[in-house]
Structure 1
Amino acid sequence: MLKFGSASLIALAIASPAFAQSSDDDIVVTATGIAQSIDEVGQAITVLDANTINTRQNINVADLLLTTPGVRFNRSGSNGAVGLSLRGAEVTQTLVLIDGVKVNDPSGIGDQFDFGNLLIGNLRRVEVLRGSNSLPYGSQAIGGVVNVMTATPPTDGLAADASAEYGYSDTVNAKADVSGGSGIVSGGAGIAYFDTDGISTASSRRGATEKDGYKNITANARLKVAFTQDLSLDLRGYYIHGDLDYDSFFGAPADSTDVSKSDQYVGYAGINAAFLDGRFSNRLAVTYYKQNRDYYSVRGTAADYGYKGENVRFEYQGVFQPIDRAKLIFGYEHEKPEYDFFGFGSTASESADLDSVYGLAVVEPLDGLSITGGARYTDHSQFGGKTTLGANANYTPNGGDTNLRVAYGEGFKAPSLYQLYDSFSGNPDLVPEKSKSYDVGFDQSALEGRATLSVTAFRRVTRDQINYDVTLPPFGGYNNIEKTKTKGVEAAVALRPVDALTVTTSYSYINARDRSPGANYGNRLARRAANVLSVSADYDWSFGLKTGGTVTMVSDSFNDPANTRELDGYALVALRASLPVGEHLELYGRVENLADAHYETVYGYGSYGRSAYAGVRVKL
């Protein structure tokens, strides 16, 4: 078992999350839905830029995010089944955006987004906002927001890149991207392909031997037409196809021939218009999300059962800047999530309507002080109206070298259509989840930016949290537990003692507890390791070689709400290297789980041992 001593906790709390280093990090879009200087934001945000993504060489977004503070994930199998938790919240309480489009599945358990199908592919930037933040996004963002983005095309000229790699278990991972612009038009498109024989979904430590393969095809495209400086059309599309072999999960996982196939479609069409010399900008958009999930007991036969989730959103957002020191952000949204099910001799179809209005103000009353506050009102067709509030402040007395942050956010999440109406486990009497989140922290830069320290303490109280209770007849079901409480600390250090060496350290302590009366009162919430520490170091040699490694340590957790089955902690070591060959070519490779650690993030499910991969990148 992996343990963290109290002395090391205190030391790391004073010095610890990891962040990417790039001038782009000074601008974030996730806090309010518009581009802002990070010195205006009082919330905790981590940015992972294109350089960090390329350097780390991760395949799955979840693996990349584990090196950032406050992130925990559980993987129910070799690939293609990953839930991600922020600050100890439920995996269903993470809002996910792809190129600005909400992609949580309306037919999934709790509208959960499966990070197993979200591969790095052609993604170029990830922003992670931690803490309840329903103001700009509405229902879902109790734990926080993960915003993943493809590259912004150049407005002039042409850019292209491609990569391909091969490795353990006949894994093939390839991608290509091309983008460019000329005159009023810019755009780009990309495609990524991943195929592996995988490992057994059921743990080999428990007798499973059959490998479960996984295939993923992802495509993206975007087009922007700037008719004038103040008027433009913005079109974006994203598609993910996943094909996963998995093992039976009724009871203990065991070898079987089960297969799942999924198709996700994401679309965005928006008009941007600015008036009053740019002081009044407007965005009118429609977004579309659809996911089909089909399940087969034997590949090549008809689907035994399946789900379809669909959501159409209409969005208006206005930003008015009457004076240089104040912005008003306001908007209206309408969405209609839909849920369809077939299988076992029955069908079901349900839908809901949500209408929201919101308003935020960002003001700078004094030099260096930025204050954001606002409210959102959401009317849900099943649950009526709900108002959520939020406010945060950031004060820098020295032009950004020091940032003092404080934030308060409220979260609101309606039960998913699955949780309400599933014929086997649904409960139509569920009520919405509600949360209050508090942050206080600081960021300190020293040695002309060569050293950066960030520390955040947080606390969240969630009421009416939805829980799956295996004891409910006949097959288990969903109910509202009264209360959960989470508190903790996140910290990060980034060091660049010399130009060639970068070291980042990320640590978070999360104490997530059930505070509902009953047998589980005071228990730790399931599958939330209290401590995660990650250290990454990368060195650029004078002749072009780049070498690096990451060590991630995860402490013990419990698999069940009753805290009767413990999941041992573990440590993972990854090594990586890359070498340019000429101006346009780069060779790279990595070894993951160097020590061949055996671990489980969900009881009974397998995880990769030591594995190696090598590839080539081409950039024009």
Structure 2
Amino acid sequence: MTIRNLAAGTAAVVVLSCSHNAAHAQSHAEQLSEIVVTADRAPEQLNRTGSSISVVSGETITTSNPGSLVDALRTVPGLDISETGGPGSTTNIRMRGGNTGQTLVMIDGIRINDPTAASGDYDFTMFAPSSIDRIEVLKGPQSALYGSDAMTGVINIITKKGSGPAQFNIRTEGGSYGTASTSGSLTGSQGPWSYAFTGSGQHSNGFSRFGYRIPALEAKYPNLERDGFDRIGGSARIGYDVGDVRLEAGILSSFTRSAYDGTYSATSKSPQFPDTPNNATRQLDQVWGKATFDTLGGVLNHQINVFETHIERTFNETTYTTNTLPANTKVVYSQYLANSVGAEYQGTLKLGPLGTLVYGTKTQHETADISQAGIKPASPLTPQLGKAQDTNALFALWQLPIGERLSVTLGGRVDDVVDVARFETWRATAAYNIAETGTKFHASAGTGAKAPTLYQLYSPDNGTRTLVPEESFGYDAGIDQSFLNGRVVMSVTGFSNTFSNLINFVSPSAATPCTGTQSGCYVNVARAETSGLEVGSTIDILPGLLKFNAAYTYLHAIDLSNGAILARRPKNFARFALTITPTDKWMIEPRITTVSKRFSSANQVGQVDAYTRVDLYTEYKIDANWKVFARGENILNEHYQEVLNFGTTGPAAYAGFNATW
């Protein structure tokens, strides 16, 4: 990052006054004393962590779009999110300029990245937000704690668990694009038992993913149709305390069906062709069990986890076999089955004045099966890929408090991907607190790695068995500062990442290992560098009446092989929220999202214009149990794209109620 770029970013920050954690109602003291579990693999106060971590609270999730987990994640600095056309569409999340698939996604500490996906990334469409208690977003290389895929960070989705008297909640919403959603939960505890049950369903008629509200494309392709979306899901989590042992078990399931566009991406087709009825389904099932207990009089804590995750994706895709009318079509059915089963042990040993040692081991078995069948013309379901992969790991992290102000950690991990690769990673952090001035300095550095996916290794069409893990080195440093007894909180974090051995898809040539039958293959050829600034502030302008929050990121991301800006990385993106509370029952919150221009593909091809979108949320508490709410999306009718040629919502309104007993 150049001095000029840093200065530009800092100047923008001063103007924007952005929020570090995007927490609506938390004071600075509450934020610092908040307990997080992802930063060091064990419960830790936020003010003792040297890592850069953001917490998306349950309040933020409930006031966002209830059908979209990623809408809540848009409040986090450093996360760039793009959707290919409305609800139920493919979503890409890039942390600090990294690729999709270089961020590890977990549910309750269990990885859910998809081994059948080319880059191994997780499809956020699969998960219903109704099950979520909060989300912790840990930034920077974290492979030393969590292994492969955690090159740029970790998103840990933490589900609801029960405590206290039984509580039932129901939320219903309806509105534009034929959208309707309902979710409910029952949580509580009784004696040694705790429980949490959730369920939800959502439907939307949607809009055409391709070309919607893009005048040139709507004029050229007059037959665009709506691409709808349906999802149903539920979860259960039960705990039992027996003596000094805590037993927990959980199950989660979600099924999604969505339509998508395929025809019009091939611009050689006649504009008079009708859109094709392409459909996708996605099924996520996860089951886990956990036992936690102490020995040595509480000095040593043990945690044993077992888990299994199953992901199934299917696609019915219709394509035209002619370029002119009358049209001939063929229909192909594709099935992607991924399964992951494993076990993990973690020990936490208290060392007195020498701090705490967190250590453990993990083993995991993954399978990927891909099959294809012809529907028109008919042909049997034929396996395309059927491979398995075993990974074994050892890790350790030393947490050392030095006096009352300084906390440091040093950790490392060894991952052995059987018959593929072995890699070692490390991480170090430091946090220094000055309570008298409300100041916290934090810094971290470490390495990351991502093993080649089963698809990249073994796909008969594109696989390369000689691939090695992608690697990264990154560091960040920053300061959190409060003023006026916590009414103003500022946060500035600078970061830098270098990536090597990046796996790209290339066309066959004499210089590549592609075989004669392959249309292309995956090769370790790319290098990249990203750097930037995440800055924020929460300003309690009029306590109890007016509060300002925002989140701003400056990003510089380049391909080191040619100096070109990486595709789909905006240089500036920000989000603002002004919370107005006229009475203790009524809240109004206008929200602004602004994103600078970026390029759709490499070498600065396909510019996607900058945009600014304005949303509005309001709620009214009728009494202690009932609340009504409404939200408007894109209320100023901004025409914009997140991905080139894919549509986004027009002005839309939604309303509903929330009841709790």
Q: Match for 2:98 among 89, 92, 95? A: 89
Match for residue 321 of structure 1?
350
In 2, the alpha carbon distance for the partners of 1:428 and 1:201 equals 36
Q: Match for 1:221 among 236, 247, 259? A: 236
Q: Match for 1:554 among 587, 595, 611? A: 595
Q: Match for 1:481 among 517, 520, 525? A: 525
Q: Secondary structure of the residue that 1:169 maps to in structure 2?
A: coil
Match for residue 231 of structure 1?
245
Q: Give the residue type in structure 2 aligned to 1:227.
A: V
Residues 421 and 451, structure 2, Cα contact 8 Å, conserved in 1: no
Q: Match for 1:243 among 245, 257, 262? A: 257
Match for residue 133 of structure 1?
142
Residues 442 and 478, structure 2, Cα contact 8 Å, conserved in 1: yes
Please list the CA deviations of residues 62-114 of structure 1 after superposition, one character each: whole Å capped at 9, or x if unmatched. 12212221111221232221011100000111111112211111111211101
Q: Give the residue type in structure 2 aligned to 1:28.
A: V
Please list the CA deviations of residues 492-532 of structure 1 after superposition, one character each: whole Å capped at 9, or x if unmatched. 1111121222211211011111002xxxx111111111110
Please list the CA deviations of residues 217-267 of structure 1 after superposition, one character each: whole Å capped at 9, or x if unmatched. 121110000102x21111111111110101116844893211011111112
Q: Match for 2:181 among 150, 157, 173? A: 173
Match for residue 72 of structure 2?
64
Q: CA deviation at 1:400?
A: 8.2
In 1, the alpha carbon distance for the partners of 2:581 and 2:625 equals 18
Please list the CA deviations of residues 135-172 of structure 1 after superposition, one character each: whole Å capped at 9, or x if unmatched. 22100111111111222211x32111110000111101
Residues 195 and 237, structure 2, Cα contact 8 Å, conserved in 1: yes
Q: Give the residue type in structure 1 aligned to 2:10.
A: I
In 2, the alpha carbon distance for the partners of 1:597 and 1:466 equals 36
In 1, the alpha carbon distance for the partners of 2:92 and 2:251 equals 24
Please list the CA deviations of residues 316-362 of structure 1 after superposition, one character each: whole Å capped at 9, or x if unmatched. 00000020550000000001111001015443210111110011100
Residues 67 and 552, structure 1, Cα contact 8 Å, conserved in 2: no
Cα 1:59–1:450 change in 2 (3 A) is farther
In 1, the alpha carbon distance for the partners of 2:314 and 2:40 equals 36
Residues 220 and 237, structure 1, Cα contact 8 Å, conserved in 2: yes
Comparing 572-581 and 116-125, the one that deviates more:
116-125
In 1, the alpha carbon distance for the partners of 2:354 and 2:182 equals 47
Residues 570 and 596, structure 2, Cα contact 8 Å, conserved in 1: yes
Q: Secondary structure of the residue that 1:535 maps to in structure 2?
A: strand
Residues 472 and 499, structure 2, Cα contact 8 Å, conserved in 1: yes
Q: Secondary structure of the residue that 2:145 maps to in structure 1?
A: coil
Residues 17 and 508, structure 1, Cα contact 8 Å, conserved in 2: no
Q: Match for 1:593 among 634, 637, 647? A: 634
The correspondence of residues 363-512 of structure 1 with structure 2, limited to 5 A, is: 363-398=400-435, 401-469=438-506, 475-497=519-541, 498-512=543-557
Match for residue 656 of structure 2?
615
The correspondence of residues 277-356 of structure 1 with structure 2, limited to 5 A, is: 277-297=297-317, 304-323=333-352, 326-344=355-373, 345-356=382-393
Residues 375 and 387, structure 1, Cα contact 8 Å, conserved in 2: yes
Match for residue 378 of structure 2?
none
Q: Give the residue type in structure 1 aligned to 2:276.
A: S
Q: CA deviation at 1:58?
A: 5.1
TM-score by length of 2: 0.88
Q: CA deviation at 1:399?
A: 6.2
Residues 87 and 204, structure 2, Cα contact 8 Å, conserved in 1: no
- Would you say 1:199 and 2:207 are equivalent positions? yes
Q: CA deviation at 1:34?
A: 1.1
Question: What fraction of aligned residue pairs are identical, expressed as a percent?
Answer: 27
Residues 294 and 303, structure 1, Cα contact 8 Å, conserved in 2: no
Q: CA deviation at 1:556?
A: 0.5
Q: Give the residue type in structure 2 aligned to 1:226.
A: D
Q: Secondary structure of the residue that 1:542 maps to in structure 2?
A: coil
Match for residue 12 of structure 2?
12
The structure whose Rg is larger is: 2
Q: Secondary structure of the residue that 2:146 maps to in structure 1?
A: coil
Q: Give the residue type in structure 1 aligned to 2:233.
A: T
Residues 528 and 557, structure 1, Cα contact 8 Å, conserved in 2: yes
Residues 368 and 399, structure 1, Cα contact 8 Å, conserved in 2: no
In 2, the alpha carbon distance for the partners of 1:150 and 1:272 equals 18
In 2, the alpha carbon distance for the partners of 1:255 and 1:523 equals 35
Q: Match for 1:189 among 189, 197, 201? A: 197
The correspondence of residues 267-286 of structure 1 with structure 2, limited to 5 A, is: 267-286=287-306
In 2, the alpha carbon distance for the partners of 1:359 and 1:169 equals 50
Aligned residues: 610
Q: Secondary structure of the residue that 1:64 maps to in structure 2?
A: helix
Q: Give the residue type in structure 1 aligned to 2:334.
A: Y
Match for residue 394 of structure 2?
357
Q: Secondary structure of the residue that 2:455 maps to in structure 1?
A: helix
Match for residue 286 of structure 2?
266
Q: Give the residue type in structure 2 aligned to 1:534.
A: R
Cα 1:187–1:58 change in 2 (3 A) is closer
Cα 1:249–1:349 change in 2 (3 A) is farther
The correspondence of residues 507-546 of structure 1 with structure 2, limited to 5 A, is: 507-516=552-561, 521-542=562-583, 544-546=585-587
Q: Secondary structure of the residue that 2:114 maps to in structure 1?
A: coil
Comparing 240-249 and 368-377, the one that deviates more:
240-249
Q: Which runs of 5+ in 2 are unaligned?
A: 268-273, 320-329, 374-381
The correspondence of residues 559-598 of structure 1 with structure 2, limited to 5 A, is: 559-598=600-639
Q: Secondary structure of the residue that 2:457 maps to in structure 1?
A: helix
Q: Secondary structure of the residue that 1:62 maps to in structure 2?
A: helix
Comparing 468-477 and 271-280, the one that deviates more:
468-477
Match for residue 31 of structure 1?
39
Cα 1:35–1:527 change in 2 (3 A) is same
Comparing 379-388 and 437-446, the one that deviates more:
379-388
Q: Give the residue type in structure 2 aligned to 1:16.
A: C
TM-score by length of 1: 0.94
Q: Secondary structure of the residue that 2:210 maps to in structure 1?
A: coil
Comparing 14-23 and 573-582, the one that deviates more:
14-23
Match for residue 126 of structure 2?
117
Cα 1:595–1:336 change in 2 (3 A) is same
In 2, the alpha carbon distance for the partners of 1:17 and 1:252 equals 42
Residues 114 and 338, structure 2, Cα contact 8 Å, conserved in 1: yes
Q: Which runs of 5+ in 1 are unaligned?
A: none
Q: Secondary structure of the residue that 2:435 maps to in structure 1?
A: coil
Cα 1:532–1:296 change in 2 (3 A) is same
Residues 20 and 491, structure 2, Cα contact 8 Å, conserved in 1: no
In 2, the alpha carbon distance for the partners of 1:325 and 1:52 equals 38
Q: Secondary structure of the residue that 2:116 maps to in structure 1?
A: coil
In 2, the alpha carbon distance for the partners of 1:471 and 1:584 equals 63
